[in-house]
Structures are given as structure tokens and as C-alpha cells.
Amino acid sequence: MMRRLQLLLIAGILLIAAFSTGLDFLFYLVYLAVLVVGGSYIVTRLGLSDLEAGYAVSQLNGHVGDRIRVTYTLRNTSRIPKPWLEVHNPTTLPGGLPGRAIPLGVRAERSWLVRVPLVRRGHFRIEPLQIRTGDPFGFFEASATVGQGVAVVVYPRIERIPLWRLPAAYIEGTNASPERTLQTTPLATTVRPWAPGDSFNRIHWRATARHGEIQVKEFELEQTADAWIILDLDRAIQAGRGDDSTVEVAVRVAASVADKAILENRSVGMTVNAHRTAVLPADRGARQHLKIMQLLAAVDGDGATPLVDTLVQTAGRLRRGMTAILITASTDPTWIRPVAALRARGITTVVVSLDGAAFDRIARAERERAGEIVPPLDPAVEEQRAQRTRALRHALAEYELKVHAVLPGQALGEALVG
């Protein structure tokens, strides 16, 4: 707008000077200005006429580490070339979407593909396509919006934990024993030579090729127990930053455990004490898997409810035979007694403990490498944190609770099995 005002002011002064003095040179400048400005205006007005444009997103959801593909297409259907077109998609995706400035000839078409890595979980949006053009002198500008915006949901990364198994539940009458059966279950345990009566769909072809004789899979007949995941996202206990923070690692643990349990045909429920306490009733199947991933994509480490209160609220939803998986970075021992009390109700508990002090040390080292000024550590505070961690581990061992310690940079498959 300021450029246009300046242009009008210069044109007015030049016109007045030309008519006041009658100099031919000034009239030539007036004619030239009219030609340049008028031509620029026409070029800008025709820059977006008879132009077809669009974009397509390959998928509207994915996990951290995946890539989505965005395909752009521009087509000029007129007999006038488009010397300059700027194409851009505003988005909230981390890293954004790269724009392009391209020319488009007479009745020409341009298409290109952009691969965007999904680096952070969450709910994001890709806004409608923005197309902008103008004249070579920058006097005028025209823009247009094409299409509609779309929402993209990025789920947390799932790490495979093939060797990890939920502990056996306290269910009367359950007896896990490998034996031949007319049905198959998700729990394949071993292979054995083929025997009359075995179904052909149970043949393990790789083992058959290796042994030189037909091998069939054996399945473990076990009454599947429901799993209930309690994810502690209390703001006061979180440590680290970015992908190597207790929040992100805890969410990855919850996603991986839930994925493993659902693949085993278990019914999975979840409680998350984030900004609001979210509860997903226990269910199984792909629909429950999607609900869990959508919840984990949205939560953040901004909870205000202590873990002990969350356990008290969740205890009424747990029934005999369930397995509770508690994921927390808390070193407050007050939550241990409510967890230990679940055993009397026939509920098995597994604790996944995140070492907040180790995550803070990793974050501190990254800040120092980045050149930030980091205040020195207080030895008294560090010693106090170490004492609380040792006291927590001693209390967990006293109540004979199964604990898996997760450190920054450690593979979940190693941490949950070791």
C-alpha cells in the first residue's frame, strides 16, 4: 500500500511538472510511466487468470519417523505465459512445507512432489494453497487461495518390543501350556514336526526349509488378561527436552506397550493425567488402537494431578485379572502403597520408571554443545535427587514390584526386557 501511494505521488508531481513547464522530456517520462505502470498492472491482472492449481496429501496421519507426500499441480490454460508464480502452503508442521517460485509457459503444466518427514507428534494443519504473482517492478501484486485446509495427526513412534511379555495375571483356572489345538492364537511359542491332524495353515515354511521336513507352529493356550496403562504426565516431574525428554519417552513407551498388547488380542485401557485426566475404557481391536494413538498424539507434560491421586481415581476401574502398567518419572514414594495394594485384588502391576536426572543431564549437555550458557549444577540438589531415586528403588524392591528402568537413548526393547 505504501508503494502504491509513493507511485501515485511521483506520478502526480511528474504530471504537474510536465504541464507547467511544457518540456518534451517530461512528457516522454509521463508517457513512459503510463506505459510501464499500465503494462505492469495488466501483467499482474492476467498473472492468475486461466490458471488451474491444486495439491494432494498422500495421508492425513502417520507416526513419528514416517514421511507424507504432497503433490502439487499447476496448469496454464491460456495463451499468455505466466512469468512468475509463487506457490506455498502455510502449515503448522515442524519444518514447514517448501514453497516454489516457477514460470509457466503457454498451455503448460508443472507438477512436483514434496516429501515431508514427520518429526514431532501432535495435531497439525496444512492450510489452503497460496499462489502469488506480480509485475517485474514490484508495483502490483495479486494472490489467490486454492483448495481447503486439511488436518494431519502425527502419532508417537512405536518401537517394537518382541521379547517383552505382560506378566501372568491372577486368574483362577488359567494354565499356560503349549499343546496342539484346532485353533490358532496370537501367542506362537515354538515349532515341531508335523503330525497327522495338523492344519496346513499352521506350517512354518522357513523352519521347514531349514530342517528339511515339515514343521508346524505351536500356540500357547492362555487366558488373555486385560491391560491398563497409567501414563503419568504431571508437570512437576518432567525432565529433559525435545525428543529426549521424559514426556516423549513415556508416550513412546505407552504407545509401544499398547500396540504390543492389542496385537496379542488383549483388551487395553488407558489413564493419562495430562492437562485434563483422560480415561479410555478397556477395549480391543483396531478401533481401540486408533483411539489410543489419537490420545497420545494430543497429550503433553502439563498435568497438575499428582500420580497418587490418579491411581486412586483409576483403582475403581481395575478389575481382578488385569495387568496395570504404570509409566512415570516420579520419585515420590507416596504412590507405591496404592500400587502395592492392587496385588490383594488380583491385579498385577508393572512399573516403567524413567530416570529424570539422567534426562536432565542429557539436555544440559545438548545445551552446552549448542553454545548456551548453562548455570552450574548444585551438588546438594543432585545428591538429593540421587537419594530420592535410591529410596524409590528400595521401596519398590521391598514391595516386590516389577520395575523396568528406562534411560535416555536406550532402546525400549532392551529396557523392558533387561
Residue 371 lies in a domain: yes
Residue 182 lies in a domain: no
Angle between helices 24-46 and 2-21 (to 10 degrees): 150
Indicate the pTM of the whole model. 0.77
Output the pLDDT for position 354: 93
Same domain as 64, residue 29: no
By CB atoms closer than 10 A (0-12, 13-18, 19+), residue 146 is middle
Residue 199 lies in a domain: yes
pLDDT of 154 higher than 90: yes
Output the pLDDT for position 284: 86
pLDDT of 270 higher than 80: yes
Output the pLDDT for position 219: 63
State the cell numbers at 278.
Answer: 483422560
Same domain as 122, residue 236: no
- Where does a domain end: 202, 221, 240? 221
Is residue 159 within 8 Å of residue 413, measured between CB atoms? Answer: yes
Same domain as 212, residue 196: yes
Same domain as 201, residue 62: no
- Where does a domain end: 221, 236, 264? 221
Output the pLDDT for position 180: 45
Domain that residue 33 falls in: 2-46
State the cell numbers at 339.
Answer: 500400587
Q: What is the pLDDT of residues 227-267, one digit of tens each?
A: 999 999 999 999 988 888 999 999 999 999 999 999 888 89
pLDDT of 32 higher than 80: no
Q: What is the pLDDT of residues 176-235, one digit of tens each?
A: 444 444 455 555 667 888 787 777 777 888 888 888 888 888 765 444 578 999 999 999
How does residue 379 score in pLDDT terms, banded at 50, 70 and 90?
A: confident
Same domain as 234, residue 217: no
Same domain as 380, residue 355: yes
Residue 183 lies in a domain: no
Count the domains in the chain: 4
Output the pLDDT for position 174: 46
Same domain as 90, residue 16: no
Residue 374 lies in a domain: yes
Most confident by average pLDDT, 14-28, 35-49, 88-102: 88-102
Output the pLDDT for position 7: 64
CATH number at residue 241: 3.40.50.410
Same domain as 94, residue 42: no
Same domain as 238, residue 213: no
- Mean pLDDT of all residues in 366-380: 80
